[in-house]
Amino acid sequence: MCDQVAHIAAVALKVSKSPKAERLVARVSPDDKRTIERAAALSGQSMASFVIAHARDAAEKALERHDRIRLNAEESKRFVEGLLAPSRKVPKAVKMAFEEYRQTVREV
């Protein structure tokens, strides 16, 4: 029982506090609906709150997997070597373009 209370509190914190102006509609099978209704009831949440909290949690995890760069040992070694390597000489055309940029673009 203590685990369920902690889980409810943790899930409730992840639901956005901003005004709810958008709608999210999904068609589900009767079996999926019964399963979700039962899980929501067991966690002490409305079905909508349960679905939103768990969908948001899944979305955040998916975004984190996408946004994080994972390197294996060889890739990590090459990355660090690239960071530690002496910088290459900047071509004259790049220096001229940068100088022109500095002279023509003003900071806001």
Question: pLDDT digit string (tens) for 48-94?
Answer: 999 999 999 999 999 999 998 889 999 999 999 999 999 889 999 99
pLDDT (mean) for 88-106: 92
The C-alpha atoms of residue 46 and residue 32 are separated, in whole angstroms, by 15
The C-alpha atoms of residue 43 and residue 41 are separated, in whole angstroms, by 5
CB 46 within 8 A of CB 7: no
The C-alpha atoms of residue 99 and residue 61 are separated, in whole angstroms, by 43
User: Is a pLDDT exceeding 70 seen at residue 12?
Assistant: no
The C-alpha atoms of residue 45 and residue 54 are separated, in whole angstroms, by 11
Q: Which residue has the tokens 């901003």?
A: 18
User: Is a pLDDT exceeding 60 seen at residue 15?
Assistant: no
User: Is a pLDDT exceeding 50 seen at residue 46?
Assistant: yes
The C-alpha atoms of residue 47 and residue 7 are separated, in whole angstroms, by 16
